[in-house]
Amino acid sequence: MGGDAVLVVQLGSRTTRESVLDQLGDSPCGVAPPTTGLSSVPRAAVLAVATAQVLPPDATSPRLLEDSWLDVLATRRATSPTIWRPTS
């Protein structure tokens, strides 16, 4: 597999999340929730890539973060255990 590619789409009245997902069709990819403001786009991109990285090998369509959050969390926990230390 090559590097990660990220598609950022500005949603509007004619470009809805559903229409973007329809256009992605049978492309296996990760999809982050919509953001509010440019400052949240980098985090959304990280979450979309993290979602794509946990796709099953036989994936045939886009997968939403909200449908994969547990897999993303488990993978991130396994690869970065220090970021999950309790703060007390």
* Distance in angstroms (rounded) separating the CA atoms of residues 77 and 69: 12
pTM: 0.78
Q: Residue 38: name the closest of 65, 13, 8, 64 by CA.
A: 8
Q: What is the pLDDT of residues 24-39, one digit of tens each?
A: 999 999 999 999 889 9
* Cα dihedral 74, 30, 83, 42 in deg (nearest 10): -170
Residue 5 is predicted with a pLDDT of 81
Mean pLDDT, rounded, of the chain: 86
Tokens linked to 88? 């007390």
- Beta strand 62-64 with 29-31 is parallel
Q: Cβ(65)–Cβ(72) under 8 Å? A: yes
pLDDT in tens, the chain (88 residues): 456 788 889 999 999 999 999 999 999 999 999 998 899 999 999 999 999 999 999 999 999 999 999 999 988 777 765 555 555 5
